[in-house]
Amino acid sequence: MTTRRKFLTTGALAAGAATLAAPVVRAQAAPIKWRLQTYAGAALGEHVIKPAIDSFNKIAEGQMNIELYFADQLVPTGELFQAMQSGTIDAVQSDDDSMASPTEVTVFGGYFPLALRYSLDVPALFNSYGLDAIWKEEYAKVGVQHISAGSWDPCNFATKTPINSLADLQGKRVFTFPTAGRFLTRFGVVPVTLPWEDVEVALQTGELDGIAWSGITEDYTVGWANVTEYFLTNNISGAWIGHFFANMDRWNEVPPHLQELLKVCFEQSHYYRQHWYWAGEARLRVNETKLKLTTIPDAEWANVEAEAVKFWDEIAAESEVKAKVVAVIKQYNETMTKAGVPYRFG
């Protein structure tokens, strides 16, 4: 009886303690699934997007997962905006121009001629000169969340024959961005639109004479250096402006802490590209020999710079929003020029 009585007392206490100590089991919500397509093919995507997506998926610990698709895997690049707006895909990494977004700022995406000298000009314009707010407002009007902007490489010509003067551009069939192509027609360039994955073959078959799509880092990374001969050191823009976007409804479904994580990972992606391209552009010019370097003399290239300012004014005349962005670009460049070295040389 003593033993039984002791068991009833101590056993009941132990059972009660065990009940109190049992962990609370909560039903875990199903993970959020996103599909994100980039403008970049697989080789380039390994640098410009995949590290950021891998990091996000790892840190999110199953609460959210992003499936990454490369150029044209789900939809053609020219249909990226429509697919995101309709919710066919959830998010996009692209410039405004090549995905044909129906906004007032689309013309400034990609390479707006001669507006930027260095990659740091992009985050400076967006974070310190107000472009980020303009982009967010314009994209909100069409049901898209503009998450952030960042810089990529400069825009140079890689061609099958040498370019040593503006006259050498006459009649050249060149793969480039819509706005860049519109500007380059002033110098006799014939812009050609193709799926990104078809460019290498088009260079081999003679459908293209060259490309004005990237700097030298991309030329080597994606294989275009194997099918072109020359690289023009003059660039029509010092940096590509690209962005991360999301369908607004899908963005609003994401909890605030995961929205913040997306922003942080995408900012890290912008930073990675800053140093990857900056180092690559110099190293490949100096140490690789597949592409022979050519240069148009400064005195002649000044004509391109003068035409760019005229082009800005033409764009500004098209709408109030475009005029506002052009005014910011002019103010920024005037400030950089007055500041002198290292902001601007010459």
Per-residue pLDDT tens listing for the chain (346 residues): 444 444 444 454 444 444 445 554 444 578 999 999 999 999 999 999 999 999 999 999 999 999 999 999 999 999 999 999 999 999 999 999 999 999 999 999 999 999 999 999 999 999 999 999 999 999 999 999 999 999 999 999 999 999 999 999 999 999 999 999 999 999 999 999 998 889 999 999 999 999 999 999 999 999 999 999 999 999 999 999 999 999 999 999 999 999 999 999 999 999 999 999 999 999 999 999 999 999 999 999 999 999 999 999 999 999 999 999 999 999 999 999 999 999 998 6
Q: What are the residues whose beta carbons fall under 8 Å from the beta carbon of 307, sequence distance 6 or more?
A: 183, 186
- Within a domain: residue 100? yes
CA angle 293, 294, 299 (to 5 degrees): 145
Buried b (16+ CB within 10 A) or exposed e, 148-161: bbbbbbbbbbbbee
Residue type, 154: P
Give the whole-angstrom CA distance, residue 69 versus residue 75.
10
- Asked if 153 and 212 touch (Cβ cutoff 8 Å), the reply is no
Question: Does residue 278 share a domain with residue 143?
Answer: yes
Put residue 298 in one of left, alpha, beta given phi > 0 → left and psi -120 to 50 → alpha. Answer: alpha
Question: Does residue 325 share a domain with residue 270?
Answer: no
Question: Does residue 267 share a domain with residue 142?
Answer: yes
Question: Does residue 309 share a domain with residue 224?
Answer: yes
- Within a domain: residue 1? no
How high is the pLDDT of residue 24?
A: 45
Q: Which strand (E) or helix (H) includes residue 66?
A: strand 64-69
Q: Which residue has the tokens 């994606």?
A: 222
Residue type, 18: A
Q: From the centroid of its chain, how far is CA 266?
A: 10
- Within a domain: residue 223? yes
How high is the pLDDT of residue 195?
A: 87
CATH number of the structural domain spanning residue 279: 3.40.190.170
Largest Cα–Cα separation, the chain: 111
Q: What are the residues whose beta carbons fall under 8 Å from the beta carbon of 300, sequence distance 6 or more?
A: 165, 166
What is the number of structural domains in the chain? Answer: 2
Give the whole-angstrom CA distance, residue 161 versus residue 49.
32
- Within a domain: residue 8? no
For the record, the structure tokens of 6 come out as 């002791």
- Within a domain: residue 21? no
Give the whole-angstrom CA distance, residue 150 versus residue 265.
12
Residue count of the chain: 346
Q: Up-side HSE of residue 79: CA atoms within 13 Å toward CB?
A: 11
Question: Does residue 50 share a domain with residue 117?
Answer: yes
Give the whole-angstrom CA distance, residue 305 versus residue 181.
15
How high is the pLDDT of residue 30?
A: 87
Question: Does residue 278 share a domain with residue 136?
Answer: yes
Picking from 285, 270, 292, the residue whose alpha carbon sits closest to that of residue 216 is: 285
Integer-rounded Cα radius of gyration of the chain: 26
Question: Does residue 131 share a domain with residue 40?
Answer: yes
CA angle 37, 70, 192 (to 5 degrees): 100
Global confidence as pTM:
0.89
Boundaries of domain holding 169: 155-238+289-339
Question: Does residue 161 share a domain with residue 86?
Answer: no
- Within a domain: residue 10? no
For the record, the structure tokens of 185 come out as 């027609």
- Within a domain: residue 3? no
Question: Does residue 200 share a domain with residue 59?
Answer: no
Cα dihedral 150/106/197/114 (nearest 10): -70
Question: Does residue 249 share a domain with residue 220?
Answer: no
How high is the pLDDT of residue 15?
A: 46
- Within a domain: residue 26? no
- Around Cβ 35, how many Cβ atoms within 10 Å? 18
DSSP states of 288-319 as a string? --SSEEE---HHHHHHHHHHHHHHHHHHHTT-
How high is the pLDDT of residue 346?
A: 63
Question: Does residue 84 share a domain with residue 49?
Answer: yes
Give the whole-angstrom CA distance, residue 213 versus residue 159.
11
Question: Does residue 187 share a domain with residue 312?
Answer: yes
Label the pairing between strands 32-38 and 91-94: parallel
